Amino acid sequence: MMRGIAGLAAVGAVWGGMNTEPNPTASDLTASYPVVRLMPKGDARAIRHGYPWVYANELVTDRRTKGLTPGALAVLEDANRVPLGLVTVNPVSKIICRMIDRDPEAVIDTAWFAAKLARALAHRARIYDQPFYRLVHAEADGLPGVVIDRFGDVAVVQPNAAWADALIGPLTDALVQVTGVTTVILNGTGRARSLEGLDDRTDVIRGTAPTAPIAVPMNGATYMADVMGGQKTGLFFDQRPNHAFAATLAKDARVLDMFSHVGGFGLAALAAGAASVLAVDGSEPALALADQGAAAMGVGDRFTTRRGDAFEVLEALAAEGATFDLVVCDPPAFAPGKASLEAGLRAYERVARLAAGLVAEDGYLMLCSCSHAADLTRFRNASARGIGRAGRRSQVIQTGFAGPDHPLLPHLAESGYLKVVTFRL
């Protein structure tokens, strides 16, 4: 049942002309796969039906298993020693195993990565006529913990799981081979990596770093993406269909884009003929990129920005007597996990209450959540409570989710994190 791992000799050597230190996470990827085993209470049926994770309290964690290097590959067996597939193992993570291939004899090499990437690319190429999209959405695209966003000839890879960090070399080779991108940037930052015991790092692992923001066309607008120093990969592709819906409400409208980042909803609204847009964010660099996008579109005269804490700005706008025909609030994840759920729901309720007071009669309020711990029903109910506390009555007219380049794995609720609810007040 054991098979060798091909194509890993170069891990930790020279990738794309960049010298790196030997990667210690690759040293345990030996010539044969070890075996790890579910406890009797482990849900083997869920794994067989497609659930991709095994938690630490479901696995037999003897000294040998605990001694595996984070990112090692192993054959997962059920409690009766029947193989379930090939997994990656990280003894320091709560998610101790991630299913990587249902074939326990699979060879994880450049060709394996190329097949996964080719399948992901075929889907995106059918949907989009320009190469700006999320190419890989982690488990839903068969690459657990891996996010890849494409910006033309530039790809930004987030290896948020230890195995992907260890195998970044063959992953990069396959990415260049399949897509033809000339620059690959490793964006190793964020909460997910810390949960895997990984350090933050940002590297150019193939090609040359862009010297200026990349102009991204989307929904008739132009966005400026800072792929080296911006938030996440530099742009949020997941909101594309929701930007488009907001644009249908925006013609001749006064628009407030809260938590705007680089102008996501606001620039789409301007492209659709909004009378004016005020973009609010806490990041000065993000607002500067939004200004550049508006200038590139030739709509800078209808676009203004305001930097500050969102709650404080919402209260200040109310004190100023400001009203808008369309208000959009797209905050960061207030409830990134179960422990923060109740506090997060209170924060979403507060946003809804403050924002509702700024919406003109018969205007629209779009509220967004990227918290996977807050499901659609809880988020919508918290939003409705906030609107009611503001003394407004509402209709739900639209519910949105991430775009089709962010597929949802039916067995993994976490892959369907984005919810958008639009109210008419």
pLDDT over 90 (residue 304): yes
- H-type helices in 196-283, by residue range? 240-248, 264-271
Residue 363 reports pLDDT greater than 70: yes
Q: What is the DSSP letter of 252?
A: T
Specify the CATH superfamily of domain 14-101.
Answer: PUA domain (2.30.130.10)
Which one is catalytic: 97, 329, 368, 370? 370
pLDDT, tens digit, 9 for 90 and up, residues 214-268: 999 999 999 999 999 888 899 999 999 999 999 999 999 999 999 999 999 999 9
CATH class of 214-424: alpha beta
Answer yes or no: is pLDDT of 1 > 50: no
Please say whether the beta carbons of 344 and 373 come within 8 A. yes
Instruction: Look at residue 9 and tell me whether its pLDDT is greater than 80.
Output: no
Instruction: Name the more confident of 21 and 173.
Output: 173
Q: Please state, in angstroms and rounded to a whole number, the distance separating the CA atoms of residues 336 and 374.
A: 8
- We find that the CATH architecture of domain 110-206 is 2-Layer Sandwich (3.30)
Q: How far is CA 324 from the centre of its chain?
A: 30
Q: pLDDT above 70 covers what percent of the chain? A: 93
HEC per residue, 86-134? EEEECCCCCEEEEEEECCCCCCCCHHHHHHHHHHHHHHHHHHCCCCEEE
Which residue from 63, 108, 100, 68 is spatially nearest to 84, judged by alpha carbons?
Answer: 100
Sequence ranges of the chain with CATH classification 2.30.130.10:
14-101
Q: What percent of the chain has pLDDT over 90?
A: 85
Task: Report pLDDT for 292.
Answer: 98
- Please say if 370 is a catalytic residue: yes
- Tell me if 286 sits within 8 A of 230, measured CB to CB: yes
Average pLDDT value for the chain: 91
Task: Report yes or no: 381 and 343 within 8 Å, Cβ to Cβ.
Answer: no
Rg (CA), the chain: 23
Pair 207, 183: CB distance under 8 Å: yes
- C-beta contacts of 394-401 below 8 A and 24+ residues apart: 394/356, 394/365, 394/423, 394/424, 394/425, 395/423, 395/424, 396/421, 396/422, 396/423, 397/364, 397/422, 397/423, 397/424, 398/245, 398/422, 400/241, 400/242, 400/245, 401/241
Please say if the pLDDT value at position 4 is more than 60: no
pTM exceeds 0.95 for this model? no
Q: Token pair of 211, please? A: 């010297």
pLDDT digits (tens, 9 = 90+) for 41-81: 989 999 999 999 999 999 999 999 999 999 999 999 999 99
Q: What pLDDT band is residue 376 in, cutting at 50, 70 and 90?
A: very high
**Does 12 score more than 80 pLDDT?**
no
Which residues, in sequence order, are CB contacts of 247 under 8 Å at separation 6+? 219, 220, 268, 269, 271, 272
Write down the pLDDT at residue 24: 33
pLDDT above 70: residue 381 = yes
DSSP letter for 269, please.
H
Least confident piece of the model among 2-11, 48-57, 64-73, 289-298: 2-11
CATH 3.40.50.150 residue spans of the chain: 214-424
Domain with CATH 3.30.750.80 in the chain: 110-206
How far from chain centre, in Å, is Cα 172? 19
